Every structure is written in structure tokens, then in C-alpha cells.
Amino acid sequence: AAQRRERARIRSQRQQRWGRPRSKAA
């Protein structure tokens, strides 16, 4: 469960950096 939460946080940071979410691996 902790990994899932950490992954969600990283995804949020990537979205902010890119500005728009792309692919899961991208």
C-alpha cells in the first residue's frame, strides 16, 4: 500500500513538471 501511495505522489510531481500527464511509462 505504501508503494502505491508513493507512486501516486511521484505521478503528481511528474504531472506538474510536464504540465500534462502522458503515458504511465512516459
Global pTM reads: 0.35
Q: What pLDDT is attached to residue 20?
A: 64
* CA–CA gap between residue 14 and residue 22 (Å, rounded): 10
Output the pLDDT for position 19: 61
Question: What integer pLDDT is reported at residue 3 of this predicted model?
Answer: 87
**C-alpha cell at position 4:** 502505491
The pLDDT tens digits of the residues spanning 1-26 come to 788 888 888 877 766 666 666 665 45
- What's the confidence (pLDDT) of residue 10? 81
Domain boundaries of the chain, sorted by first residue: 1-26
**Can you tell me the distance from the alpha carbon of 2 to that of 16, in angstroms, rounded to the nearest whole number?**
21
